Structure 1
């Protein structure tokens, strides 16, 4: 600042005394003007105060005026150029700090304008009149009419006939009566069979019951008549004279009485009773009586269940396989199975124990058994994934009738005894992959003593000529079997018109006495599909696969074949399908096909099945 002031005063003195010419004074004026502009800029950026800039401007303006007047006073003074150059170097004290939040003196910046909106509307003529809304109608199919009774008749190749009649009627508001008549027969026709292979199966079941809020009961009675043939001899092995002398037919008959009782608000829940009288054409007979009352109590917030079992069986056979000696069997099994149900959040446990006593009336020993019976489940992810596990054991009463239901070709010379199922340890996962897709996976280890195995009887030349002594019948061998198995299944209802299911079981067996676990397959697979093609047409299919099995062959030494040998039965699969047409609410037509692959497989050793089977029929529904 001092420099600018001194410079202006110097120019005034020089001009006034005529020491510098007019041009020089003009240059100095230019310099002063330049400095004046510089001072304005410094003031605008805050490096010098406003008052200082005003003084500088006044001094510069006086300098310019003095120089002009000086030039006019003396125009003969010699010229001399004096260039004084000195850059301006401001110091910190020459500037002031800029405020972080500047103040505004302008009132217009803070003034808010109030904006008002005005809508100018005018009526428009219209003939539209809105109607009152209502819910849209939902399209729904008419409910299929329910009929209480039906009759089915069908016939097919191999002389197959199938008939069913089911009737039920309400006797009163609480009582009802029902009955079922079934018949299934075929005239045989198995490939390369030398003996008669026809079969008949006819049964009649009747029931009468009553349902009220306080009491529900029903009484059952029935009769079954079955005819089968031991046709499973080696083809072309025996001469024709021997074959002609074989009576291969066996007849089974069963008469049963039973009932069920349930008291609604009582501690006595559902209790069952059943009596079977089973006999055959070779003088074998069996009586089987079972009573199972079930008690249930609520103690505090827990539920106590007590199951009671009274199982009595007795029977006799006129002959044993190797001798003509008759023998009897009989057991009375009494058991009590208390359990408690525990529920907490997603965890559910049913913990119990089974206590049994088995008393042998004829052959065998009387024993006392205790079994664990604990099952638990936990919802890992709601219903999507449920983990479950448990250990169960029980005393299972075997019976001649139950053996025949599994294998029709038993000889009437077997021994019947109960099975000690020590424990079955299992764990698995079940749940849903989607709303319509469910799954179940289970691994288990089963330990059984005295487990029955179906084993071929073989041939004894000099024992007798009964129809079951030609290597064409089976006996029952008991062994201690340990079974490790894995089971899995998947079921899907893709829509109300399409459903699909698949399942499989893999098993591994360990035996103690027998060389193999006879006739137990290591692999079982199955699948089913049901489709409603249209409201009138429907169809379905079932496929199953059975893996290899082992069996034992024994022949007398005089026969030129290996005396003893273990044979392997090949695995097989079967495809069954059906298609139907709903002619009306009452009348349906259907077409069924079994063994569509036309496989000549062996279900049991030397017992082959019929080939492709086709059957057509109709079903009619009605009311009285």
Structure 2
């Protein structure tokens, strides 16, 4: 508003100036600043305000506590937890039926039945028939057959395992090592062995306890076609007790009570006790003990008690390779059972004598290379008394007598083993043994080889075709020809076999066996040539239950 008034005054003054004419006169404007603004002096207070007096109240303070209960409704989560199902166990076809036929009028039938998976028990049944009606000499006069039936089972408890076996084995062969110029009648040369065997087992389970034991009672009965009989009751016991992680005690024992009847009746007893202590210190493991043996054998002198030193030392060169060595002594049991299993052509009423291994020294190296390869090589040097050998009967060369070196026999063995396992694709194993004997009262180590070599392998092609093969050689076997009264060295044994299995499905497969491919009629025992080339073809059917 003030601005408008000033503006209007200027406009009026300008109009007045426009009406006047003439010259502008000089003028002087003087502005004076002579007005002073003065404020009255302010009064100041220099005295402090005294604080208010405090009231001393001695009254007690009152506190009140209250409990507050908050009740919440139940939480009902709507989250779904994803669970992984247990993987299904692969179906196992552990039971199978197998049948095959081949030349020499051969037949093969086999069945195996297993229990299903069970944590409390297991059982199995095994039956087998294998026969060749014809052989290398006079056809049926050299035929052979074998039958087997077996049942076994186990029951698993918290602290121990209870098991048992019942087996029957029947074998038939012929004494076909007779002179071919003489006619032989089959009923006079036929030999049969019937063996019944039963045993039981009681052992503790691995529950982390420091004490373990296993006891195995057994009974067997053997009878041949010529009224020879032998019954045997046996008992094995083994126990270990760990004092700490480095020291333990072991105790083993064995009892054998046999009765042999073959023209005369003979009772033979054998009892062994092996106490020992074992300890380890770093890479060194040591076992030291005794072997105490009592036996009443047929050798003159009656009852005998033997005391042997027993011990072993193992040193780990690294995690995979170890060297070992030891000393031992023992009575090696010889009875009708063991001799028949080794040579089924033995004579009647043969003498039975246990072999006394008075002292044995052994050592070697063992280990694994590259995880898939295993090696083991070593030697043993033993002194024996009454080591047995087989020799043809001078009166009937088709049968074998048993002779014993009643003096001192030194037996040396050097061996080497090699194995490979490449995750179920390729497997192989090889072993070589060399033997040497120094005899005192026997001329030669009759029918004992000086070397053995075995080689076996298998190859799995795409889980469809399985190839397997084995080579077995043996040589240096000496025999006695009583017609010429000369020593005879048998030709080396070379036995090469092939087998092909074709898996048509998980349950059905076909097999083709080629045995003695080189068709060598080699002799393991003098006058007993083996069959030549043998071919067998057959089927296998696997199933999971009856």
Name the structure 2 match of 1:91: none
Contact 1:485–1:507 under 8 Å retained in 2: yes
Name the structure 2 match of 1:294: 238
Contact 1:329–1:363 under 8 Å retained in 2: no
Name the structure 2 match of 1:352: 289
Task: Check if 1:577 corresponds to 2:517.
Answer: no
Aligned-partner Cα distance in 2 for 1:285–1:364: 25
Other structure's SS at 2:142 match = coil
Contact 1:195–1:248 under 8 Å retained in 2: no
Other structure's SS at 1:402 match = helix
Contact 2:107–2:132 under 8 Å retained in 1: yes
Find 2:449's aligned residue among 517, 521, 528.
Answer: 521
Aligned-partner Cα distance in 2 for 1:164–1:419: 37
Does the C-alpha gap of structure 1 residues 364 and 598 become closer, same or farther in structure 2, counting only changes over 3 Å?
A: farther
Other structure's SS at 1:375 match = strand
Equivalence map 1:27-42=2 (5 Å): none
Aligned-partner Cα distance in 1 for 2:422–2:255: 45
Other structure's SS at 2:376 match = strand
Equivalence map 1:359-370=2 (5 Å): 359-360=296-297, 365-370=302-307
Aligned-partner Cα distance in 1 for 2:143–2:510: 27
Find 1:507's aligned residue among 425, 432, 435.
Answer: 435
Aligned-residue offset at 1:623 = 2.0
User: C-alpha deviations, 1:112-162, integer Å up to 9, x for none?
Assistant: xxxxxxxxxxxxxxxxxxxxxxxxxxxxxx986312311111111101111
Aligned-partner Cα distance in 2 for 1:295–1:194: 52
Does the C-alpha gap of structure 1 residues 434 and 330 become closer, same or farther in structure 2, counting only changes over 3 Å?
A: same
Aligned-partner Cα distance in 2 for 1:300–1:534: 49
Other structure's SS at 2:510 match = strand
Find 1:305's aligned residue among 250, 261, 277.
Answer: 250
Name the structure 2 match of 1:342: 279
Aligned-residue offset at 1:307 = 0.7
Contact 2:325–2:364 under 8 Å retained in 1: yes
Q: Which is higher, the Rg of structure 1 or of structure 2? A: 1
User: C-alpha deviations, 1:197-234, integer Å up to 9, x for none?
Assistant: 11111011112320122120112212121111000123
Other structure's SS at 2:337 match = helix
Name the structure 1 match of 2:166: 221
Equivalence map 1:43-54=2 (5 Å): none
User: C-alpha deviations, 1:308-334, integer Å up to 9, x for none?
Assistant: 21111110212xxxxxxxx33322112
Contact 1:176–1:208 under 8 Å retained in 2: yes
Task: Check if 1:621 corresponds to 2:524.
Answer: no
* Uncovered stretches (5+) of structure 2, i.e. residues with no partner: 1-87
Aligned-residue offset at 1:175 = 2.7
Find 2:333's aligned residue among 351, 374, 397.
Answer: 397
Aligned-partner Cα distance in 1 for 2:242–2:523: 53
Other structure's SS at 2:340 match = helix
Aligned-partner Cα distance in 1 for 2:489–2:366: 35
Name the structure 2 match of 1:260: 201
Contact 2:458–2:468 under 8 Å retained in 1: yes
Contact 2:415–2:433 under 8 Å retained in 1: yes
Task: Check if 1:607 corresponds to 2:528.
Answer: yes
Contact 2:98–2:541 under 8 Å retained in 1: yes
Aligned-partner Cα distance in 2 for 1:275–1:352: 29
Name the structure 2 match of 1:273: 217
Name the structure 1 match of 2:8: none
Name the structure 1 match of 2:73: none
Name the structure 1 match of 2:360: 424
User: C-alpha deviations, 1:379-410, integer Å up to 9, x for none?
Assistant: 11321x21111112211221212211111111
Aligned-partner Cα distance in 2 for 1:454–1:438: 35
Aligned-partner Cα distance in 2 for 1:439–1:216: 34
Equivalence map 1:393-472=2 (5 Å): 393-459=329-395, 470-472=396-398
Task: Check if 1:482 corresponds to 2:410.
Answer: yes
Task: Check if 1:491 corresponds to 2:428.
Answer: no
Name the structure 1 match of 2:134: 188
Equivalence map 1:586-601=2 (5 Å): 586-601=507-522
Other structure's SS at 1:381 match = coil
Contact 1:378–1:386 under 8 Å retained in 2: yes
Other structure's SS at 1:270 match = strand
Task: Check if 1:174 corresponds to 2:102.
Answer: no
Aligned-partner Cα distance in 2 for 1:176–1:266: 27
Aligned-partner Cα distance in 2 for 1:328–1:582: 54
Name the structure 1 match of 2:19: none
Name the structure 2 match of 1:127: none
Contact 1:288–1:312 under 8 Å retained in 2: yes
Does the C-alpha gap of structure 1 residues 304 and 245 become closer, same or farther in structure 2, counting only changes over 3 Å?
A: closer
Greater strand percent: which structure?
A: 2
Aligned-partner Cα distance in 2 for 1:382–1:431: 9
Aligned-partner Cα distance in 2 for 1:147–1:611: 35
Contact 1:171–1:177 under 8 Å retained in 2: no
Does the C-alpha gap of structure 1 residues 172 and 546 become closer, same or farther in structure 2, counting only changes over 3 Å?
A: closer
Aligned-residue offset at 1:172 = 7.0
Does the C-alpha gap of structure 1 residues 224 and 201 become closer, same or farther in structure 2, counting only changes over 3 Å?
A: same
Aligned-partner Cα distance in 2 for 1:368–1:412: 30
Aligned-partner Cα distance in 2 for 1:418–1:376: 28
Aligned-residue offset at 1:244 = 4.2
TM-score of the superposed pair, with normalisation by structure 1:
0.69
Does the C-alpha gap of structure 1 residues 415 and 152 become closer, same or farther in structure 2, counting only changes over 3 Å?
A: same
Aligned-residue offset at 1:494 = 4.7
Aligned-residue offset at 1:277 = 0.7
Greater helix percent: which structure?
A: 1
Find 2:399's aligned residue among 465, 473, 489.
Answer: 473
Contact 1:481–1:517 under 8 Å retained in 2: no
Aligned-residue offset at 1:535 = 2.3
* Uncovered stretches (5+) of structure 1, i.e. residues with no partner: 1-141, 319-326, 460-469, 555-560
Does the C-alpha gap of structure 1 residues 403 and 495 become closer, same or farther in structure 2, counting only changes over 3 Å?
A: same
Task: Check if 1:547 corresponds to 2:475.
Answer: yes
Name the structure 2 match of 1:373: 310
